[in-house]
Amino acid sequence: MADPSVDVVEGCRLPVLRKNQDNEDEWPLAEILSVKDNPGRKLYYVHYIDFNKRLDEWVTPDRLDLKKLQFPKKEAKTPTKNGLSGSRPSSPERDVKRKAESVSLATQVTAATPVPSLPSSAEASQASVFPAIRDTPFIKSRDEHEQLTTNGTPRRLIPSQPGRKRKNCGTDEMVKVFQNNNSRCSTIYLLPGEDSQDSSDGIPTAPRMTGSLVSDRSHDDIVTRMKNIDCIELGRHRLKPWYFSPYPQELTTLPILYLCEFCLKYVKSLKCLQRHLTKCNLRHPPGNEIYRKGTISFFEIDGRKNKAYSQNLCLLAKCFLDHKTLYYDTDPFLFYVMTEYDPKGFHIVGYFSKEKESTEDYNVACILTLPPYQRRGYGKLLIEFSYELSKVEGRTGTPEKPLSDLGLLSYRSYWSQTILEILMDLKSENGERPQITINEISEITSVKKEDVISTLQYLNLINYYKGQYILTLSEEIVDGHERAMQKRHLRIDPKCLHFTPKDWSKRGKW
């Protein structure tokens, strides 16, 4: 039992009992974000350190390990020039360090959920000939290659110093595929080409903070760190929100928030919802249906013409997207809602939004598959559809960064399968070895060149041997790819897409 004499306050840290994925007890370290005085006993809202915020929850005192309680540290205060108390004065060294850390955080795209690496038999069968290189820029010399290994173990390459030139592997290098008739392994050579002026080493640049749910950590206070909606009823599903969403405050105290599954209007009671349904004539999202195959349909919604629906969609999406905060100006965005049809209507499965005009070639601003439909292939279908639109538009695209942990997993999986599908389908012509460039891969798939290169690095295919860049498709990678494609039953059929891109630059204010 918790000791009532111990005063657990906001900011304290201590181990908290929870169940893991195997339904076993564990005591991870957690931070107290809020304390609620309920009649009879207190409740504590905790955030598990190094865990995703969607696992945050209210706990009872008996789940707290008070023996290891850590009280919040008080920051040292020093007088300022005006004689008033304040934080200690900063030093030039601390300012430089803080600036470097902020830049590092701004440019990282990491997953909160650990991402398993794809196994490769190249590390085992060809380790002595082709040293493995993971998540590193392209190497140009043997000296740089030796910097990558310590006792034969690959390590991350230290970034180049300012003023030091490093020759990147250009995007027009010829990729030659040598097929081995006695094995399913393939070796792809990346031949050095002209110096590329663009930064195509797979390192993400600092993300531009725009989107229908624009990322803005300046509002990341104690209120937005806590879930404020207990439950949402959407059609035949009841959803437990993962994160904060700025619904009207008077609705956050309700046990259940009711949403119309067709127009996404929110109401405070089931009776209000039933009364609304007698007036709501929608049985599908507003906008144009631009794709239908079987029971799957996609609707294109203009954020200016259907502002109420778009804002309600963003409110719902914010419940399951942590790295975004709500952005009410939906005019510059298009929303593509995927639905599943049954006799009662078109039920929302997920959506993605994109800017009408993007100077950075973003083809997705926010993307979400609702929890009841996750792990069923719908997320990858949304991603595939976004690239099909890019193909029709005749351009390459990339999602806005940073990606959520689940979004990063989905995109990495899609990029890997799409690129491996291209490489494995290459065939020789006139008896010559098949060849393809990174630019051609990008043009065929509409995946931006930087994403193509970073995916090859993530798959650990890029190696360096005798002054050449090579890619090795091992038998294990080929088998793993074929098994993954057999499970991928949902695919976009371009013949079912009826989409005409618009030139928004000539439409004034859209």
Residue 36 bridge partners (DSSP)? 43
Q: How far lies 312's CA from each of 200, 204, 374, 483, in Å?
A: 38, 31, 21, 39
DSSP code per residue over 268-321: SSHHHHHHHHTT---SS-SSEEEEEETTEEEEEEETTTTHHHHHHHHHHHHTT-
Angle at 351 between CA 297 and CA 371, to 5 degrees: 105
Residue 14 bridge partners (DSSP)? 30
400 flagged as catalytic? yes
Residue 418 CB-half CA count within 13 A:
27
At CB < 8 A and 24+ separation, what contacts does 369-374 make?
370/234, 370/237, 370/239, 370/320, 371/239, 371/240, 371/320, 372/237, 372/239, 373/340, 373/349, 374/406
Report DSSP state, residue 226.
Answer: S
Main-chain dihedrals φ then ψ at residue 9, nearest 5 degrees = -120, 170
* Active-site residue identified among 31, 261, 400, 476: 400
- Under 8 Å CB-to-CB from 84, ≥6 apart: which residues? none
Active site residues: 400
